[in-house]
Structure 1
Amino acid sequence: MSAPLRIATVNVNGVRAAYRKGMGEWLAPRGIDILALQEVRAETDDLRALLGDEWDILHDPATAKGRAGVALASRRKAEIHRVTFGPDDFDSAGRWLEADYDVDGTLVTVVSTYVNSGEVDTPKQVEKYRFLDAMLVHLPALAAHNPLSLVVGDLNVGHRTLDIKNWRGNVKRAGFLPQERAYFDRFVGAEDDPDYNAGAGLGWVDVGRRWAGEVPGPYTWWSQRGQAFDTDTGWRIDYHLATPALAATVQNYTIDRAAAYDERWSDHAPVVVDYQI
């Protein structure tokens, strides 16, 4: 049996700053095959210089320089990649990047995505809903393209009360609004599952929740302010959403939470999953 395919995702909060703070020391020994990054906020040449020649790098920068940006870095060259997403008049630059990889003769499709953070009663929230609407349309097409597909990244929504430590204090804030959470009911609910949205789901699997079970967290993001990290007052907003066939191959799920506040190189922790393709 071949070694598992190790796929990691992390919002780096600026890749150059992350490397200055220790990202390279985390990455070097981790044995990752495909690395998805969000909030790159740098040029493609910067990524190549930081990661090194051993990585095949795909990068979709945001329209506004220094904002957002998503990337995929792999130990194997992508067969094909796509950045087109959503309606023609929707600017998804720097927020959706998908690629097909040949893994020992099996095609695996991986998406790195960064969903808008949103802000209640502002145009930012309108854009967030447009992005989530586009996901509802695109996810079935992605699964039809390849039954071994994976969407990873900072999705900026805590789906359930288990996903936010202080959920009661956030029910009226972007990231935990009922309308946002309903999209995730659709994403992960099965067509014949009455527990989510009256059986209207798309059937994708939240790998983190399936692996952890019905427990609080484990969280992937903590505010830089106050004692949020030290008290583990976090949010689980970084996901691996897999098609059922790919989810069935999961061997291990890990959140690489820093040992201490001053050892963090991002306000997000990497989410690392092994898939036995």
Structure 2
Amino acid sequence: MNANGIRAAARKGFFDWLPGTEADVVCIQETKAQIHQIQGEPFHPPGYHSVYVDAVKPGYSGVALYSRRQPDEVVTRIGFEEADNEGRYAEMRFGNLSVVSLYLPSGSSGDHRQDSKWRFLEFFRPWLTERMQDGREWVICGDWNIAHREIDLTNYKSNRKNSGFLPEERAWLDHLFDEIGMVDVFRRLDERPEQYTWWSNRGQAWAKNVGWRIDYQIATPGIAATAHDPYIHTDDRFSDHAPFWIDYDYQP
């Protein structure tokens, strides 16, 4: 889930709600906190091994992972300095499985941020292509900041020229799925319209379900084939994004 500030999500009851999910692995994006600011409970939930990656810039970006099982290895950098300095990647490895919390840049605040997004996408595609050949299974969870198809946002006609639904961004995801061979696990399991994960805080977007699906679990085909029961949780609102989960019958 994109927390839009992990401390803000905590005040809204996120950590009170979390144990009831019985989640094995939890992926968080946009923590907006330096590691020294989130020591102890509730930010390190009991029963979980937790990893935080913060940005050099205080109060910005950042990702986290919580796992009931102790990971064999933790990776927090991908070798792209701009992204690594913004705390956009955390990976836990369990046997031959990697679970990633990923936060792609948003370009909605201006051309300079869209340029950063393009640089990230240019780096990340060959990086992912190489990982697809390593024999591991991957589940990459996070805020990808791209709605893939018209079904994935309410006002698709008026957003064709806006960051998050640009033709080039959507084509990048096409390549990820059609050429590299990764799977949009939620869409494989649920083709219904109006299944959104983000709503603007402006107007009545939440109340009217005027949203975008920009949060994904993107996986390699092997583990994706074991997935079932996707669910977007909208009964509580911990941020402008909704938590969502998918069950996998997979033992690494």
TM over 0.5: yes
TM-score, normalised by the number of residues in structure 2: 0.92
CA distance in 1, matches of 2:129, 2:111: 29
* Matching residue of 1:25: 16
Per-residue Cα deviation, 1:189-221 (whole angstroms, up to 9, x for no partner): 1xxxxxxxxxxx1000001111112x3241000
TM-score, normalised by the number of residues in structure 1: 0.84
CA distance in 2, matches of 1:44, 1:125: 27
Residue pair 2:189, 2:228 contacting (<8 A) in 1 also: no
Please provide the CA RMSD for this pair: 1.6
CA distance in 2, matches of 1:174, 1:255: 23
Match of 1:265 among 221, 224, 238: 238
* Matching residue of 1:38: 29
Misfit runs of 4+, over 3 Å: none
* Matching residue of 2:138: 149
Secondary structure class of the residue paired with 1:208: helix
Amino acid at match of 1:275: Y
Q: Does 1:223 align with 2:222?
A: no
* Structure 2 spans left out of the alignment, 5+ residues: none
Residue pair 1:35, 1:74 contacting (<8 A) in 2 also: yes
Residue pair 1:86, 1:134 contacting (<8 A) in 2 also: no
Amino acid at match of 1:16: R
Match of 2:129 among 106, 116, 140: 140
Residue pair 2:34, 2:55 contacting (<8 A) in 1 also: no
* Matching residue of 1:11: 2
Q: Percent identity?
A: 38
Residue pair 1:12, 1:40 contacting (<8 A) in 2 also: yes
Secondary structure class of the residue paired with 1:90: helix
Amino acid at match of 1:271: F
Residue correspondences, number: 247
CA distance in 2, matches of 1:13, 1:56: 22
CA distance in 1, matches of 2:8, 2:172: 33
CA distance in 2, matches of 1:86, 1:179: 24
- In structure 2, relative to structure 1, the CA distance for the partners of 1:228 and 1:42 (3 Å cut) is same
Q: Does 1:160 align with 2:149?
A: yes
* Matching residue of 1:275: 248
Residue pair 1:116, 1:127 contacting (<8 A) in 2 also: yes
The structural deviation recorded for 1:146 is: 4.1
Match of 2:69 among 69, 76, 88: 76
Q: Does 1:125 align with 2:103?
A: no
1:187-226 mapped onto 2 (5 Å cutoff): 187-189=176-178, 201-213=179-191, 215-226=192-203
* Matching residue of 1:182: 171
CA distance in 1, matches of 2:225, 2:14: 30
The structural deviation recorded for 1:120 is: 7.8
